Structure 1
Amino acid sequence: MKIMKMSSQLGALVLCSLALTAAAQPDLSKIRPRVEKIPVADMERVGKQSGLTSCFWPATVSPSTFNILIPDSGVVYWVSQYRLPPGASLSLRGQFPKARHISLNTYDEAGQPVDRLNDLMMAPNAGSANPFRPHARRDAAQRDYHVNLTQAAVTAGTRVDDASRPTNTLYAPQDAAVQLWYRVYVPDQGADLKGAVPLPVPVLQLADGRRLEGDAVCGEIVVKEGTLRDVRVPTEALKPMFALAGATSAYHPAQNPPSWNAFFNAPLSATNLLIGTPYEGIRARLDASRRGGFYSTLDNTYMSAYIDRRFGEVLVLRGKAPTTPRTFAGAQVMEPAQLRYWSICKNRSLSDTAVDGCLYDEQIPLTADRSYTMVVSTAAARPANATASCGVAWLDWGAAGDGMGNAAGGFLAIRHMMPSADFTQSLFATRKPGDEAATLGPYFPSSSYTGKADFEKLGCKAS
């Protein structure tokens, strides 16, 4: 999960560049995210309603709990925040869930990713098995693990050397409140959202020799205030970017056909709003190195496209799907695949960071050669043949649009997770803006607008 953040340095750079090309321009320096702490009372109320939280994990992000920070509906995100007293150490004991993927991630106080420990990096306890490893039995009865959270001089933007990482060690920044996120992707059919196992349990070793577990840990280290933070660009600051003079698209920032752009870093991604305007050339002057976004994970990367159904009430996507493990029905073995997970989501905007709907790999009908056809529309405009039985996936556009007054707007995001070493056509293989189609090849989606009636003329098996 990510939110694309405009830095003050980016605002200054764009303003300087615009001054060279136009006499008047929006004040882009105002496009900065606001960070609002979700009140503890709200976290407790939502947690009680959902039944998903615990003392150590007091908040969740999901479409049904806190639909913020551009989530993926195939995932539930648990959030904790703690501060260790001097001389203390923290670990987590847990069980590998019945699910597609899990990970633990630490962040600094600004929400930038510091480190992660994904399931492949986690060794099971003696006598237990890790069901996420290639060819492993997913139905193992003993599936326990123990992870150490070690505070060290680690910072966002600098990857920990996995080769020298001690077994089952997740690093956290020193001298600060640590934000810790736990992700569970695609629980097996019949399992709860936790994957049929309890949440990881904290184990605290204090300097005086005391050892505390579970709820007893909370009063010692958990910092509930500010655990969950909503981050968004104010609508009044973002709207001028949607109305830039000289835009080539009648419904800027959406293009026809949609313009897909890989995520390299937050400042560059924010300037996708300049595409199709006299200021698009500014993007070529910006740093295109790949870095994490706000509350992103190092195991995912993305590409996105602004969309608008005033171009056509139905948006059709066609492409080839990478292989992924098919785990939902409770497969006994974790099959190797090109990606661990991929999905496509309809989101709103940087001002309203909710998700309206997602489809993940197993939810998308495929032909024998792994081709797919997907329709994005409102429920009212859904073609009669946009059904799984007709070989067509349907993604709900939602009624909110971009969440800023344009019910026709929004953006799509495609997520790729953990490519295999021999899969060279994932989004991780992109090296610069503009090489998305060449890098992904058949896995790059063709995208076009049409009408409901026109798509229905294709009949069943419209792919």
Structure 2
Amino acid sequence: MNRRGAYRVVISILMVLLVPSIVFSDESEEFCETLARVNRGELDTREFPELAGHVLVAQTLLDASPDEIREDLTALRDTFGAWLNAVDGKTPMMQTFAILRDPEFAGVQGRIADYVAEQCGIRLGDGNYNVGTMASREGRCPAWPSVGNPATFNHFPNLPDISGGNYFAQRFWIGSDVPTPPGMLGVEAGGRVKLHGQYPRARYFAFHPNDEDLNNLRTVRDADLDPDPGSVNPFREIPKNEAPNYYTAWLVFDQPASNPPPNTYYVGARKNGIKPTRWVWNMLRLYASDIGDGPNSGGVPLPAVTIYGRDGKVVQHFEECEPFEVGEKHAQTDILFPVLPIADHRAVYPAAWSTSSNFDSPSDTLANADVQYLATFFSRRYGNVFIVRARNLKTANSRQGEPVSTPGTDIRLFTLCTYNIWSGSARDCMLEQELREDEDGFYTLVVSDALHRPDNLEEVNATWIDWGPYLDGQLTYRMVYRENEFARRIAFALNGGYVPPAMRDYIPRSAPCSRKRFEEVGWQGCFEDAGLEVKSAP
């Protein structure tokens, strides 16, 4: 964004916060004043869970809306309401997922944004949006028909990690009287699927089977996969040469066994282990790929897939498959969400933290079971700069040639991303190794838009991450693995638990600020203004 465009964003944001001074002369008056109250944080959502609060915001605007915008505000409310009902167990998650992924939702938000611009005089961003299609998600590998990466699905409702994160998915329909639905692979109850592939060049990979409620089943983790004879697992030990290293994993479509063989995972029952699941959504995730942040599969083909009947005979076989051809122009999503000028009710002061992977709901909703999620929320009501500071964790820099299995690290990895809940897109993401550190090993993360980016970041060893043109946003950490001692202690502390003095510096602390103030007094002055101690723990 150029400076002129950035100033337009600032003027629009000021209008959002000062809109009570505008005099309206038609039926839009009540709606615009209600929007202003919502954006000033005057709607009390303290007793509401996250998704319920979003539904309340939409309902409040709907109650004040003219007929002209009522249908789209109803769709906004009902979409988040469907999400809420699904995670509360009232609606099948798969049914809800179809609603959440409908590209028409971009049009719903776009028309709301247009109405707000025309009637309330508020326009954030460039105003562009496009309904589009899901075509970019279609992979070229028959056994892995769904592809997710920064180019294909960075939009609602995905909230993806785009710092080297790539996702490949397949769905298995467990044999019944109902024919296998389009896009799924059929397998008999009691049958098996063999996954035979190469360990990718990434700091993390795993297969994530999920039941029909989109709850996590046992994860097939990188470090847990015994290698084939003659191969080594690079997530356990440093390979002696550049030769490919293979593994073989099994998915068994039956109830979990009490003592499963190595590399064998039972996926025939729902998460509770008692009721059978009708189908399984298996996702291959890669984080922090050594190949880079764009679309890739970690420098290796996707695994071969062989489906066996319960009698042990081969039913179907798919060879290893390269998901992207060398030199190929990668598919790009044409779904584009607008910048919706509606506040995120979770942005409060002092900033709250969430350690939930799924909005504190009963359903895992395809969240990564290996990740400890940490999220905090920021708003321009409190300042156009948001600062987060903590001592950094030691990790292996595999992109610089350090093996993932390097001893002496604190944690496998963590990433940081900024999001807006309405668009569901990642504005910016980075790996922990992109964080500048001061002489004491601390990082200072500065969240702002381009116009409010402080000029002294390098001088004070701070790192910038983009807020974007939104009113507010969400900063999310993904820490691998969730049972790591540092990840557990940090999450425990953010929930109000005790942390030993030696661990306290690793707990993120945050404060709002302004660009001018940060440039004058640095993070220390901003923290003091917020009543936070500046001195680190002894």
- 2:98 matches 1:36: yes
What's 1:318 paired with? 389
- Judge conservation of contact 2:492–2:498 (CA < 8 Å) in 1: no
Q: State the 1:334 CA deviation.
A: 2.2
| Residue identity in the other structure for 1:447 | S
Q: 1: distance between equivalents of 2:367 and 2:379?
A: 26
Aligned mate of 1:122, from 192, 202, 225: 225
Quote the residue 2:149 is aligned against.
62
Letter in 2 for 1:342: F
SS in 1 for 2:504: helix
Q: Is 1:166–2:265 an aligned residue pair?
A: no
In the other structure, the counterpart of 1:435 is 496
Cα offset, 1:264, TM superposition: 7.2
Q: Which residue of 2 aligns with 1:229?
A: none
Which residue number corresponds to residue 455 of structure 1?
518
State the 1:42 CA deviation: 4.3
Is 1:409 matched up with 2:472?
Answer: yes
The one-letter code of the counterpart of 1:59 is S
Equivalent residues in 2 for 1:326-365, closer than 5 Å: 326-332=397-403, 334-336=405-407, 337-349=409-421, 351-365=422-436
2:211 matched to 1:108? Answer: yes
- Describe the shift of the 1:334–1:85 C-alpha distance in structure 2 as closer, same or farther (beyond 3 A): closer
Compared with structure 1, are the counterparts of its residues 295 and 47 closer, same or farther at alpha carbon in structure 2 (3 Å cutoff)? closer
Equivalent residue letter for 2:452:
A
The verdict on how the C-alpha distance between 1:78 and 1:329 changes in structure 2, with shifts beyond 3 A counting, is same
> Which of 69, 72, 81 is residue 161 of structure 2 equivalent to?
72
Which one has a larger percent helix, Structure 1 or Structure 2?
Answer: 2
Aligned residue pairs total 371
Distance 1:427 1:35, change over 3 A: same
**Cα distance change on mapping 1:92 and 1:304 into 2, 3 Å:** same
**Alpha carbons 2:212, 2:277 under 8 Å: kept:** no
Q: Deviations over 1:375-431 (max 9, x none)?
A: 1011222112234x75221111122xxxxxxx211211222211676x3x4246745
Partners in 2 of 1:396 and 1:259 — Cα distance?
20
Question: How much does 1:203 deviate?
Answer: 1.2
Aligned twin of 1:366: 437
Aligned to 2:313: 209
Aligned residue for 2:517, secondary structure, equals helix
- Code of the residue aligned with 2:462 in structure 1: it is V
CA distance in 2 between partners of 1:428 and 1:145 (Å): 33
Alpha-carbon distance in structure 1 between the residues aligned to 2:513 and 2:522: 15
Distance 1:261 1:461 in 2: 25
Counterpart code for 1:262: T
Aligned residue in 2 for 1:180: 282
SS in 2 for 1:328: helix
2:302 paired residue number: 199
Tell me the secondary structure at the aligned position of residue 219 of structure 2.
strand
Structure 1, unaligned stretches of length 5 or more?
A: 1-9, 16-24, 155-159, 218-235, 243-250, 269-290, 400-406
Question: What is the CA–CA distance in structure 2 between the aligned matches of 1:257 and 1:333, rounded to whole Å?
Answer: 37
Deviation at 1:365, TM superposition (A): 1.5
Of 73-82 and 115-124, the range deviating more from structure 2 = 73-82
Equivalent-residue separation in structure 2 for 1:216 and 1:127 (angstroms): 19
Gaps spanning 5+ residues in structure 2: where?
Answer: 1-47, 54-62, 64-76, 84-95, 104-131, 174-185, 269-275, 322-339, 526-533
* Aligned equivalents of 1:216, 1:363: Cα separation in 2: 33
Classify 1:317/1:333 alpha carbon distance in 2 versus 1 (closer, same or farther; 3 Å): closer
How far apart are the structure 1 equivalents of 2:319 and 2:300? 17
Cα drift, residue 89 of structure 1: 2.3
Deviations 1:240-265 (Å, cap 9, x if unpaired)?
A: xx7xxxxxxxx843122311232276
Q: Does 1:131 align with 2:234?
A: yes
| Letter aligned with residue 504 of structure 2 | G
Which amino acid is the alignment partner of residue 230 of structure 2?
G
Identity of aligned residues (%): 23
Deviates more, 1:34-43 or 1:62-71: 34-43
> Which residue pairs with 1:391 in the alignment?
461
Contact map agreement 1:300 1:417 (CA 8 A) in 2: yes
Q: Which residue of 2 aligns with 1:426?
A: 487
The TM-score with structure 1 as length reference comes to 0.69
Q: Would the aligned equivalents of 1:346 and 1:357 in 2 still touch at CA under 8 Å?
A: yes
What residue number does 2:354 align with? 261
